[in-house]
Chains A and B, each alone.
Chain A
Amino acid sequence: MKKVMMGNHAVSWGVSLARAEVVSAYPITPQTQIVEELSEMCSDGRLDARFIKVESEHSAMAACIGASATGARTFTATSSQGLALMHEVLHWAAGGRLPIVMADINRAMAPGWNIWTDQNDSLSQRDTGWIQLYCETNQEVLDTTVQAFKLAEAVDLPVMLILDAFFLSHTSEPVDVPDQDAVDRFLPPRQARFKLDTQDPHAFGALVRPDAYMEMRWHQHQAMDLARTTLDEIAEEWNGEFGRNWPAVESYRAADAELILVTSGTITSTARHVVDQRRDRGERVGLVKVKMFRPFPTDVLRKVLAGPRRVAVLDRNISPGHGGIFAEEIRSALYDLPLDDRPLLFGYVLGLGGRDVTPAVIDDIIEQTRVGARAEREDLWVGVNP
């Protein structure tokens, strides 16, 4: 069934198809429509879930942690400052190995107060132990929402599903809504390995001494490693069932490219358009879309980017004092390649706080990348007034 829907509602539909059992959330622009729709689904019976109203995002995540610990399939959504307020409990969710799924609508951090998109909110939570998946279209949003539950429950880790404010959250696109029966086959009810059971009470997340703590972290890291390949397996399984593939890293017309653009989020669609135009003119320009940021897909990126070519990484984020965060990570991923295979990498910081990234902007980046001998700085800021 095809429906025209906003990215926010694509999340709601995905959560409903996944038959989430507990939803707890606190409203924040531009996320609010997700949980509004879910609360209506809960109240009119379309979704058999408990909707818990709370007084802050910290409590929303705390409620999700409690619910997930009892074995329930659990969801929340937030954005920007709300995600930052959750920070402490994000560690609890991941360290407690709870397969919570959360949608984060990428919104710039204040101040200056801003409701438009950039990735600094989610990337600030890089080291909390959450799997991070960045989406390009509303269809990918819906499909990834369902897959996120499967991924989370397969490796007992929480998943953050990320989409751009307004460019996706409030933009309507036709979305194919899969059949509930088919989704039920793809995603059976959760089988929790550990359950918080008031009849058989145990201490969860209690004091762990130095001898065991590090093992816990090692196991958590191993689970992350496992998640890296598991996403692609799940994506393929989905592709077999529904005919749409959303791998951790997508390589688009990049195999023979002399210049590759690396993107995430909605900038990808614009870049895809520019790449097609350039290819029409016979230029060997390609695109690599990074969907999965944690665990970091080092193995695939080394494969698709290696070679004597130029790579432009487009970062809608900034790690102040260093540079674009995707560029940093990719640069370090490629460092181990033999010198001949190491591409020349340019990191561009652009589009912060919702500033538009048009085909013209990407054309400029391609030209700049093509002519540069070597980047003078690691952070090339696009379009700022000096």
Chain B
Amino acid sequence: MPESRETKARDIPAVAVSQTSTRVNKTGSWKYIRPRYRDRVAPCNARCPVGIDVEGYMNLVREGRIWEAEDLLLRENPMPAITGRVCDHPCEEACNRQGFDEPVAIHGVERYLGDLILEQPLPDHFKPWRTERIALVGSGPAGLACAYHLNRLGYGVTVFESDAQAGGMLRQGIPGYRLPRTVLDRQIEWFEAQGIEIRCGEGIGDGVDWESLSEFAAVFLATGAHSSRAAGMVDEEGPGVRPGLEFLRDVNRGQIPILGLRVAVIGGGNTAMDCARTARRLGSEVTVVYRRTRAEMPAIAAEIEEAEREGVTFRFLAAPRAALRENGVLTGIACTPMELGPPDDSGRRRPIPSETEQEFLLELDSVLTAIGETPDLGFLPDPLKPRWGTFEVGPLNAVTGESPDLDTAEGPLSGPTMVFAGGDVAEQPRTVAHALGAGKRAALGIDRALHVARGRAPEDWDPAGFTFGPEGNVSITQYRRDDPIRREDPLNEVVEAEDLNPEHFQKVPRHSDWHLRPDDALQDFSEANRGLLPDQALEEAQRCFNCGVCNGCELCLIYCPDFAISRRADGGFTIDMDYCKGCGICAEECPRGAIVMTQEGV
């Protein structure tokens, strides 16, 4: 380029540019509302009975920080390899991706992390630093969860288990094709390695005296519900008819009963599905007899689908009236046809006998009843026995209250006085996830009660500080006020789909679990659902919206018209309030609703 032209061009002043920096003009003084990054509650977290920070570990997996994801998951959930398999994942029903494309396969990611954890060398012994020891009665998910969390809070723990092997309903109730024994055994080993003492074959009132538990500072009761309710058939007692749970327990112990070819399972819950699919694996033709219709079945939907795939047939709107026997051998059952009447207390339509259809017979060799279980709490002293079969507990699962000198209505207690209860012995949906949540709540309740007993209760012990979501989930991370990854002043407000900005998301199909073909699955008790491949699990974490929590996507920084937002060294963002005009574009554009606008001076 000729020099002259360039020089000439450069002589001409170009544009209206201020001589001084515009920093002197603090446009932030104009605002009357200001943005603030504030963590809110992702719907998956809100709906998780365990109180897992699902959003949090999804984000860590997305960033490839797998070890930290495992750590975060383990803070709230002691057995992700198990819940990843058997939980009915209400988190996915709540997932905000639902209305966008399909929910994130959260269970697949959880299972992936859970398996990674169990594949690693066993953890070190976790030495308690507190003097108090806590007794846990029952080694099911509730008891183990409570023991695990107490152990991490510094207490020595002893778990009493009446059965010869630990695991409670995980071992006795859930069949191996849903939860392989290798996984369960490794999980128990993993708990024991950390210093959780499990005394098998030592049930309370069955080797161990209730009074002797007085040496423990507190007791958590989690003995589950193992007594089957009768189906209410005429001649139910007798050969050929037996409780389904008992049947499952036998099979899980390796004692294979002879069912015969034609088997009916009575009931529509998860135990019924477990019985039906187990009986199929033993070679029987199985019919599930249920009083209502498929829509009212309380079993996990995926379990019903898998049962169907495996050839289980369903007889809906049928109530077994009587067991029929010839020469003391079961020949079948007589069933009353039903129809659905008005809704009952549970909100489901109540089945009533049909006025038009005739009673019918089912020819059978065996009947398994699975219409519900109740706790057996005969070992407890009378004042502690719950009036209606299950405990009514406080928000942190206390039975006797949090004060050790509290009297019950029946008079002063003998033996241990600080009693908590959870899992199937307390009033709640009977799932593994609810049991784990109850164990965690009780651990916090016990820790808090012992602090009170020591006269060293922290001042800000308001449970609101560690409770989140409408269902009263608790977070250990929030409870432990010194935890470095504790969320700072989160807003206890569940993020709805309309709080998100879907314009910034792309549709990505959900990965499905890999299932054995039904013909192969029925050959033996090997695991029927093989979960996701590792890459698929990682991709599912990428699909997470991270509802209500900043994941550093930088869209706020890009959209801020005042360049008032900058990135901090720790990965978070700072808003320069001297220049933020309070326009709200950052909050509007934030894909995940992690920025809230607040009024100035409020």
Contact = CB atoms under 8 A, between A and B. Distances in A.
A206 B9 contact: no
Interface string A162-198: 0000000000000000000000000000000110001
B560 to A, nearest CB: 10
B455 interface: no
B255 interface: no
A215 B13 CA distance: 9
B18 A206 contact: yes
Contacts, number: 61
Contacts of A201: 21-23, 563
B21 A230 contact: no
- Chain B binding surface SS class: loop
A357 interface: no
A206 B16 contact: yes
A355 B403 CA distance: 96
Contacts of A194: 14-15, 17
Interface in B1-52: 1-2, 5-6, 8-10, 12-18, 20-23
A96 interface: yes
B322 to A, nearest CB: 72
Nearest to B10: A193
Contacts of B12: 156, 219, 222-223, 226
A203 B18 contact: yes
Contacts of A154: 1, 5-6, 9
A155 B15 CA distance: 12
Given A154-B9, A226-B5, A202 B15 contact: no
Interface in A38-72: none
B17 A204 contact: yes
A156 B14 contact: yes
A92 B448 CA distance: 66
Nearest to A200: B21
B284 to A, nearest CB: 58
B21 A202 contact: yes
B16 A205 contact: yes
Nearest to A222: B12
A233 B9 CA distance: 14
Contact of B16 (A156, A208, A230, A237): A208
Contact of A198 (B14, B17, B563): B563
B563 A193 contact: no
Given A198-B563, A201-B563, A193 B18 contact: no
Contacts of A212: 16
A149 to B, nearest CB: 13
A154 B8 CA distance: 10
A95 B16 CA distance: 9
A216 interface: yes
A156 B6 CA distance: 11
Nearest to B12: A219
B575 to A, nearest CB: 14
A193 B13 CA distance: 10
A237 B5 CA distance: 14
A222 B18 CA distance: 22
B17 A219 contact: no
B589 to A, nearest CB: 14
A97 interface: yes
A220 B9 CA distance: 11
Contact of A226 (B8, B18, B22, B563): B8
B418 to A, nearest CB: 60
A223 B9 contact: yes
Nearest to A153: B9
A56 to B, nearest CB: 16
Interface string B518-536: 0000000000000000000
A222 B6 CA distance: 14
A14 to B, nearest CB: 19
Contact of B9 (A198, A203, A226): A226
B498 to A, nearest CB: 22
A202 B9 CA distance: 22
A96 B14 CA distance: 7
B6 A205 contact: no
Contacts of B6: 154
A203 B14 contact: no
A198 B1 CA distance: 31
B567 to A, nearest CB: 13
A230 B14 contact: no
Contact of B15 (A200, A204, A229): A204
A156 B22 contact: no
Contacts of A233: 1-2, 5
A223 B5 CA distance: 11
Interface in A203-239: 203-206, 208, 212, 215-216, 219, 222-223, 226, 229-230, 233, 237
A384 B563 CA distance: 57
Interface in A124-150: none
B2 A156 contact: no
Contacts of B22: 201-203
Contacts of B17: 194, 202-204
Interface string A95-114: 11100000000000000000
B5 A156 contact: no
A96 B15 contact: yes
Nearest to A203: B18
B18 A156 contact: no
Contacts of A203: 17-18, 22
A95 B1 CA distance: 25
A52 B200 CA distance: 66
A96 B13 CA distance: 11
Nearest to B564: A198
A95 B23 CA distance: 24
Contacts of B563: 198, 201
Contacts of B20: 202
Interface in B82-138: none
Given A201-B22, A201-B23, A202-B21, A97 B5 contact: no
A205 B6 CA distance: 24
A201 B17 CA distance: 10
Contacts of A229: 5
A215 B16 CA distance: 11
A200 B16 CA distance: 16
Interface string A224-266: 0010011001000100000000000000000000000000000
A9 B506 CA distance: 30
A204 B22 CA distance: 10
B9 A219 contact: no
A219 B23 CA distance: 28
* Of B17, B18, B21, most A-chain CB atoms within 10 Å: B17
A95 to B, nearest CB: 8
B5 A205 contact: no
A58 to B, nearest CB: 16
B18 A219 contact: no
Contacts of B13: 215-216, 219
Contacts of B16: 204-206, 208, 212, 216
* Of B6, B10, B12, B22, most A-chain CB atoms within 10 Å: B12
B223 to A, nearest CB: 62
Contacts of A219: 12-14
B15 to A, nearest CB: 5
Nearest to B25: A203
A125 to B, nearest CB: 20
A216 B16 CA distance: 8
B21 A156 contact: no
A93 to B, nearest CB: 11
Given A204-B15, A206-B16, 7 more contacts: A154-B5, A194-B15, A198-B563, A202-B18, A215-B13, A216-B16, A233-B5
10 contacts: A154-B1, A156-B14, A193-B14, A194-B14, A202-B21, A203-B17, A203-B22, A204-B18, A223-B9, A226-B9
Interface of A: 95-97, 154-156, 193-194, 198, 200-206, 208, 212, 215-216, 219, 222-223, 226, 229-230, 233, 237
Q: Which 8 A-B pairs have the closest CB atoms?
A: A203-B18, A97-B14, A198-B563, A201-B22, A202-B18, A97-B15, A219-B12, A208-B16
